[in-house]
Amino acid sequence: MTTIGVLALQGAFREHIRSVEASGATAVIIKRKEQLETIDGLIIPGGESTTMRRLIDQYGFLEPIRAFANAGKPVFGTCAGLILLAGEIDGSHDAHLGLMDMSVRRNAFGRQRDSFETDLDIKGVADGYNAVFIRAPYIERVGEKTEVLATYDDHIVVAQEGHLLACSFHPELTKDHRLTAHFVSMVENSKRTLAS
């Protein structure tokens, strides 16, 4: 059975657990870094990236999550989780995990559009995907190895770099589990590759 952990320091982790289970994998709440050894893939949820970073430092997760990803295990960052994965934030080089070659802008859709829902076409994953944005970031620039999977208003909102996936919105808040299911299949593939 494929086991996916959801980083549960802060933010919307319970809904992710449900979404992973609905996609046919086992889901576990991750609160200690030692638990990373027991999972095949990791989801970093939405919340507040600066708060989450503080807790990542407090609980000693920074290097263990980097090592997890560098060992080829998939990581999916959603909303604040996307910010944590990015190599560059708001034009500065002070990244958090800095695992993905992309530059992101926080709270990028502005005050008037703090929260909204829209239907997105996500390349190779889903058409008419129901996406919920909450004080969302977008991706301003991606590196050569990072593939753009969806845009909204000409801004990149889903990107994948090998075994790393990031989206601007909250894929766990609706019954549309197709993006989570895509991550589950990335984890299943990497599990097969890592085992061989």
For the annotated binding site for L-glutamine, the residues are 47-49, 106, 134-135
Length of the chain measured in residues = 196
Q: Terminus-to-terminus CA distance in the chain, angstroms?
A: 16
Among 80, 131, 166, 179, binds ligand GLN (CB under 6 A): 80
Among 46, 77, 87, 171, binds ligand GLN (CB under 6 A): 46
170 is catalytic: yes
- Applying CB under 6 A, does 47 fall inside the site for ligand GLN? yes
Q: Which of the ranges 17-25, 79-87, 123-131, 181-189 carries the binding residues for ligand GLN, by CB under 6 A?
A: 79-87
172 is catalytic: yes
Looking at the Cβ atoms of 5 and 171, the one nearer to ligand GLN is: 171
CB of 49 to ligand GLN, least distance (A): 3
79 is catalytic: yes
CB of 159 to ligand GLN, least distance (A): 16
Cα 185 from chain centroid (whole Å): 15
Closest Cα to residue 96, out of 54, 139, 34, 40? Answer: 54
Contact (CB, 8 A) for 136 and 109: yes
Phi, psi for residue 94 in degrees, rounded to 5: -80, 75
List residues with catalytic annotation: 79, 170, 172
* Residues binding ligand GLN (CB under 6 A): 46-49, 79-80, 83, 106-107, 134-135
